[in-house]
Amino acid sequence: MALRGLAASGPGSRGPLDEAVAAAEERGAPAVVVAAGGAPEDDDEDEGRGRGLLRWDGFSAWLHCVCVVGFDLELGQAVEVIYPQHSKLTDKEKTNICYLSFPDSNSGCLGDTQFCFRFRQSSGRRVSLHCLLDHYDKDLPVYLKKDPAYFYGYVYFRQVRDKSLKRGYFQKSLVLISKLPYIHFFHTVLKQIAPEYFEKSEPYLEAACNDVDRWPAPVPGKTLHLPIMGVVMKVRIPTCHDKPGTTQIAQLTQQADTHISVILPTVHEVDLFRCFCPVFLHSQMLWELVLLGEPLVVMAPSPSESSETVLALVNCISPLKYFSDFRPYFTIHDSEFKEYTTRTQAPPSVILGVTNPFFAKTLQHWPHIIRIGDLKPAGEIPKQVKVKKLKNLKTLDSKPGVYTSYKPYLNRDEEIIKQLQKGVQQKRPSEAQSVILRRYFLELTQSFIIPLERYVASLMPLQKSISPWKSPPQLRQFLPEEFMKTLEKTGPQLTSRIKGDWIGLYRHFLKSPNFDGWFKTRRKEMTQKLEALHLEALCEEDLLLWTQKHTEVETVDLVLKLKNKLLQADRERLPVKPDTMEKLRTHIDAIILALPEDLQGILLKTGMT
C-alpha cells in the first residue's frame, strides 16, 4: 500500500495553497484560494462566495474531499488523487481509505460496485474552518446529525478486464469522503459522475468538484436543486420537525420541473426490505439486538451487501439514533482491527460488516452473527435463514443464518410476516415492501420510546418554580424503578399489539449505550429549555427598578451576568422566543445608561450588547 501522485505530499508538507489558508486563519481575514489550474471567480458568478472564508466553502459543506484509489502492481492500493488538493488527511486516514475502497480479493466483484464505509477520524485534527456550517445540524433529526469523530466513504469501484495492463484488469475506485450520512444521495451522485470520470479522468473530476462548490448549503427542510455535470438533482434534507415516516419531497414534485433530471425521495434511507429479505422472519429479533446495542457481525459475500445490511440494521430503530460504533465495511487492515477482534475482553457494542473469510475464525467468539448470501434482485425471495447455534459457524462458507443464542424479549409479530409474505407472492415492488417494513419498525420503536419520553417529561420542574432571581431549577433524577412502575398504566401496550416481556426489554435497554446517548440528548434539550424559560422570566422583570434598590457593585454584577446569559443563549442556541434576546439587550442598555459615565464606558466595552 502506498500514497503517491497528487496525494504524495503528506500531512507534514505545506503547499502554496496551505500557506494561503494558514495566513488567512492567522489574520482572521477572508482569503480566496484558487485550485491549481483555476482562476478567481467573479463575485456575481457564485452567490455562495459570501458564505464564508474560503474558495471551497460550498464544497466543504457537503464533502471533505474526493479521492481516487488505484491498484499499483508493486505497491498495492494507492491514493492517486485527492481533490481539492489542499484537503487535509493524515497518513492513518489515507491508509484506511486505501484499504476500505477496494473489495476483498475473494469478493470477485467484476464490473461496477457501489458501497459505503465509515472510519474514525484521527485524534488531534484541527477543527475545520467550516464549523460555521455546523449550525444546520441543530435542525436535523438526531440520527442524521454529524458525528465529529467519524468520516463516511462512498465508493464507486470498477474492475474490468484490460489486456493492456500487466495485471490484466483495470481496478479503480472513486471515493467521496464526507461527514454527512446521506447514503442514498451520495451513491446517486457517484452514479452520475463515476462512469464518465473513468473515461475522462482528472479534468472531469475537477469540473464536478467545481459544480459541488456552487451548491447551496445543505439546509434541512429546504428543497435544494443541485446541478452536477449537466444533471440537476432535487432533494430535501429532513428536519427534526418532520413527522417520522413521511417524506416531504413527494408533495413538491406535483409541479412540472422540466429542468430536473433526478428527484430523490430520500437522502439517507437504504432499500430496507431488500436487506432484511433473507432474514425478515427474524427482523423483530434483530430490531431488539440493535436497540440494545449488542455486538453484531454481518458476514456477506461483497462490500455492497455488507454495507447495505449494516446500514439497514442501524436504520431500523429510527427515529432513535444508534449511538454505538458501526462499520458498514470492515477489513483486517482497519486501524481498529485489533481493538475490535481481541479476545481478552468482551466484544464491544458495535455492528461490523465483513467479507473476508478470515473473520469467520477471528470473530467466532462474538455473540450474534448474521451470515447472508447474495442479495436477490427485487421481486425474488431467498430461502429464509434459520436461527442457529454459534458453535455451528466454522467458516464463511457456512450456510446463511442468524447465529446466536439470544432469546427475544417480545413475541414474534405474525401479522407483519404474513403481510410481507403476501407481498412477495403478489410480486409487490421492493419499494412498497420497504415502506411496510419501515412503518412497522417505526411503530415498534415509537411504542417502546413513548413511555420513556412521557416519564422523562415528568422530570421537568414546573414553570412556576422558575424564579428570575435564582439559578434555574435542576431536572429530577431518572429513577429506573420509578419509571418501571409507570409501565403498568402507560406502557407500550397502549400503542402496540405485541405481547412479551416488555419490562425485561426496558431493563436491558437502560444499561445500553443507546439509552445513555438518548437520555443525555434529552437531558441537554430539557436543561436548555429551563435556561430559556429562566431568560424569559428575567425579561419580564422591571430590572431598572431593581437597580434603584441595589448598590452600584450589585448592578454591575447583574449587567455582567445578563451579558453572559446573552452569550450563552447565542452559543448554545437556546430555544428562546424571538423577541426575548432583543428585550434583554434593551434592559442591559437601560441599566448601563443609568450608571455613572466612567462605569458606562467600561461596561459598554465588556462583551457584546
Output the pLDDT for position 257: 56
Residue 521's closest CA among 245, 256, 145? 145
Output the pLDDT for position 394: 54
Output the pLDDT for position 216: 93
Q: SS3 of 134, please? A: helix
Residue 242 backbone phi and psi in degrees, to 5: -65, 150
Query: Do 116 and 307 form a contact (C-beta atoms < 8 A)?
Result: yes
Distance of CA 148 to the CA centre of its chain: 9
Output the pLDDT for position 258: 57
State the pTM of this model: 0.83
What b/e readout covers 171-196, taking b as 16+ CB neighbours within 10 angstroms? bbbbbbbbbbbbbbbbbbbbebbbee
Q: Is the pLDDT of residue 294 over 90?
A: yes
- What ranges make up the beta strands (E) of 195-316? 223-228, 231-236, 262-263, 296-299
Task: Name the average pLDDT for the chain.
Answer: 82
Q: Is the pLDDT of residue 209 over 90?
A: yes
Q: SS3 of 86, please? A: coil
Does residue 4 or residue 63 have the better pLDDT? 63
> What average pLDDT does range 212-218 have in this prediction?
93
Residue listed under C-alpha cell 455492528: 351
Q: How many percent of the chain have pLDDT more than 70? A: 81
Q: What is the pLDDT of residues 324-373, one digit of tens each?
A: 999 999 999 888 898 898 888 889 999 999 998 888 888 888 999 998 87
Note the helical H segments in 123-279.
183-200, 202-213, 249-252, 272-276
Query: Do 489 and 455 form a contact (C-beta atoms < 8 A)?
Result: no
Cβ neighbours of residue 34 under 8 Å, at least 6 residues apart?
Answer: 40, 55
Q: In what order do the strands lie in the sheet with 368-371?
A: 325-327, 350-354, 296-299, 368-371, 401-404, 386-388
Does residue 128 or residue 393 have the better pLDDT? 393
C-alpha cell at 305: 451487501
Cβ neighbours of residue 464 under 8 Å, at least 6 residues apart?
Answer: none
Q: How far apart are CA 354 and CA 55, in angstroms?
A: 39
Q: What is the pLDDT of residues 21-45, one digit of tens each?
A: 333 333 333 222 223 333 333 333 3
Q: Is the pLDDT of residue 607 over 60?
A: no
Residue 443: which pLDDT band, with cuts at 50, 70 and 90? very high
Residue 606: which pLDDT band, with cuts at 50, 70 and 90? low
Lowest pLDDT segment from 112-121, 215-224, 301-310, 563-572? 563-572
Q: How far apart are CA 495 and CA 112, in angstroms?
A: 45
Query: Do 186 and 143 form a contact (C-beta atoms < 8 A)?
Result: no
C-alpha cell at 153: 466513504
Cβ neighbours of residue 58 under 8 Å, at least 6 residues apart?
Answer: 46, 48, 51, 212, 213, 214, 215, 216, 217
> What average pLDDT does range 259-272 have in this prediction?
85
Output the pLDDT for position 509: 98
* Most confidently predicted of 79-88, 304-313, 578-587: 304-313
Q: What is the pLDDT of residues 532-568, one digit of tens each?
A: 888 888 888 888 888 888 888 888 888 888 888 888 8
Q: Is the pLDDT of residue 165 over 90?
A: no
